[in-house]
A and B are shown apart, each in its own frame.
Chain A
């Protein structure tokens, strides 16, 4: 499998701060590569280095097998990106913005092609409205249309679901899946919504304070046998007593809030639900917690630092 991004020993220092330290990772063709880290972990700095917006202090970056510093123009022709906020020209309309960025990518699209692109992100109805009248979610979708207008091979999305409503988030998730599965695009996506990454990523990199904590296949990181379920009932204390007397007693976990926590295999969730009904526990909600979130908290607090 061809590696699309190969980063070796990447370091970036700003005066008194080292934002990225000796970072190495590889993104292969067709990957949906989840890039995780807390705020200030160095995700955006790394992404900006991949796009030549920031010059690395040390290390090397190869994209499509070519060194970025010597083949910048060739490489960027094949890359589409949304970097942090999807900023476009607010005094121009959606279609005008799209036309400008298409021209910058060497294309001369017809209005029909531009409309198709806007259709894909659900903005065809607002094509001629100036962007200053758009909501954050609409700007986000326009930013994604801009990133995809030249049909790039590698798509870099930095927090692509920011400002989107649940339907918008689901649309982006489906779009990323479509890009990867149907069009064989490679996607590098950073997000603070860990459950989003969990649902779409094939590989994951977790960084903290500029250094790699974990890199590996998502399936290895998100172990389904360690799924946490959060229970809310009308009376949590009474429910706890009932569960302590049941076969689920060994699965009960220390509570962090008022809700009850049960660790189990993801496949056991239907059985748990059935037992709760039989025990006549007045259930308000049964919510599987995002395993990656727990995993992420573990590795970033130094409890579980390793590489798969």
Chain B
């Protein structure tokens, strides 16, 4: 199995396509950092426009922590599209190149091949997130410095002490890894049904866009299905940045407002991963290789 995983990783990282996602994330983050460095104060003024008259805020509001949060909000919606480029190509790409039949005539079981391919695409996904974390968090901390983190929620504000933020990012990135692995699993599942890469990549993107719209629309009829959609749970990383308060409205350091929601979302995402991967293996084991 280790040999198979190594080979799959070697193939992934020798393909020029792999680096599109890394380049795209780098370009987007550098662009946002540049924009905020040049004209960040305008952005902060706009953000605090509604509460500026009732609340006096000083210090470095536009610090690395806040910038990372802003970027995660923007990018974690789009990263799935980049993950689909690789994950949805794992089987269909081999079929398209004609290498699938060569691979499957080697002395390994189809289940081993599938697990190796999924693990390799998960490692790619995790590396993409590590790169995202490095640029969005560490580089932003270096450029913009650190301070307490001030977040505007829909009807309240959250103030996180500087020493109470970093671990939340670790949790948020770990949760994002689970969410993105779910996307990889979906792409991987759809990849089994096609013999060219474009179909499953577009299908993965379409499913995510469609389900994200369903998850975010506030129409009662859709509320029944929302808890079962993985897209509803992909944004639960934000829960790491909601803090509990005492009765006198003082923040409790190291607390999370809604741990149950994080746990529930993680379970739903994990179940989706299991379903997608086992579904892909079941279909693939019975599939006639005609490519």
Q: Which A residues contact B (CB, under 8 angstroms)?
A: 14, 48, 51-55, 72-77, 79, 81, 83-85, 87-92, 96, 100-101, 103-106, 146
Known contacts: A54-B288, A92-B14. The answer to whether A87 contacts B105 by CB under 8 A is no
Interface size class of B (residues with CB under 8 A): 20 to 34
Min distance, Cβ A41 to any Cβ of chain B, angstroms: 16
A146 to B102 alpha-carbon distance, docked (Å): 9
Chain A residues positioned under 8 Å from B108 (CB to CB): 73, 104
State whether B98 touches A85 (Cβ < 8 A): yes
A106 to B11 alpha-carbon distance, docked (Å): 17
Chain B residues positioned under 8 Å from A74 (CB to CB): 107
B16 close to chain A: CB less than 8 A? yes
Known contacts: A54-B289, A55-B288. The answer to whether A88 contacts B99 by CB under 8 A is yes
Chain A residues positioned under 8 Å from B106 (CB to CB): 76, 101, 104-105
Q: Could you say which of A53, A72, A85, A91 contacts B16, with CB atoms under 8 Å apart?
A: A91
Q: Could you say which of A52, A75, A96, A105 contacts B104, with CB atoms under 8 Å apart?
A: A52
State whether B102 touches A88 (Cβ < 8 A): yes
Known contacts: A54-B288, A96-B14, A103-B3. The answer to whether A73 contacts B101 by CB under 8 A is no
Q: Which of chain B's residues has its CB closest to A49's CB?
A: B288
B158 close to chain A: CB less than 8 A? no
A81 to B98 alpha-carbon distance, docked (Å): 13
Min distance, Cβ A71 to any Cβ of chain B, angstroms: 10
Q: Which of chain B's residues has its CB closest to A130's CB?
A: B14
B274 close to chain A: CB less than 8 A? no
Query: In the complex, which of the residues B7, B98, B106, B109 has the most CB atoms of chain A within 10 Å of its own CB atom?
Result: B106
Chain A residues positioned under 8 Å from B6 (CB to CB): 103
What are 15 sample pairs from A and B whose C-beta atoms fall under 8 A apart?
A: A48-B101, A48-B289, A53-B101, A53-B104, A54-B288, A79-B105, A81-B102, A83-B105, A84-B98, A89-B99, A91-B14, A100-B11, A103-B6, A104-B3, A104-B7
Chain B residues positioned under 8 Å from A84 (CB to CB): 98, 101
Q: Could you say which of B3, B10, B105, B286 contacts A53, with CB atoms under 8 Å apart?
A: B105
Seed contacts A76-B106, A96-B14, A106-B107; 13 additional CB < 8 Å A-B pairs: A14-B288, A48-B290, A53-B101, A72-B109, A74-B107, A79-B105, A83-B102, A84-B98, A87-B97, A88-B99, A89-B97, A101-B106, A105-B107
When A and B form their complex, which 8 residue pairs have the shortest distance between CB atoms, in order from nearest? A87-B98, A53-B289, A76-B107, A51-B105, A104-B106, A54-B288, A77-B107, A73-B107
Q: Could you say which of A55, A87, A100 contacts B7, with CB atoms under 8 Å apart?
A: A100
B15 close to chain A: CB less than 8 A? yes
A48 to B98 alpha-carbon distance, docked (Å): 13
Chain B residues positioned under 8 Å from A88 (CB to CB): 99, 102
B152 close to chain A: CB less than 8 A? no
State whether A81 touches B105 (Cβ < 8 A): yes
Min distance, Cβ B101 to any Cβ of chain A, angstroms: 5
Min distance, Cβ A165 to any Cβ of chain B, angstroms: 22
A278 to B15 alpha-carbon distance, docked (Å): 67
State whether A103 touches B7 (Cβ < 8 A): yes
Q: Which of chain A's residues has its CB closest to B109's CB?
A: A73
B103 close to chain A: CB less than 8 A? yes
Query: In the complex, which of the residues B14, B102, B107, B286 has the most CB atoms of chain A within 10 Å of its own CB atom?
Result: B102
Q: Could you say which of A52, A75, A81, A100 contacts B10, with CB atoms under 8 Å apart?
A: A100
Chain A residues positioned under 8 Å from B288 (CB to CB): 14, 48, 53-55
A146 to B101 alpha-carbon distance, docked (Å): 13
Q: Which of chain A's residues has its CB closest to B11's CB?
A: A89
Chain B residues positioned under 8 Å from A79 (CB to CB): 105
State whether A87 touches B107 (Cβ < 8 A): no
Chain A residues positioned under 8 Å from B105 (CB to CB): 51-53, 76, 79, 81, 83
A53 to B16 alpha-carbon distance, docked (Å): 29
A146 to B98 alpha-carbon distance, docked (Å): 14
State whether B101 touches A83 (Cβ < 8 A): yes
Q: Which of chain B's residues has its CB closest to A158's CB?
A: B101
A75 to B108 alpha-carbon distance, docked (Å): 11
A69 to B239 alpha-carbon distance, docked (Å): 51
Chain B residues positioned under 8 Å from A101 (CB to CB): 102, 106
Q: Which of chain A's residues has its CB closest to B286's CB?
A: A55
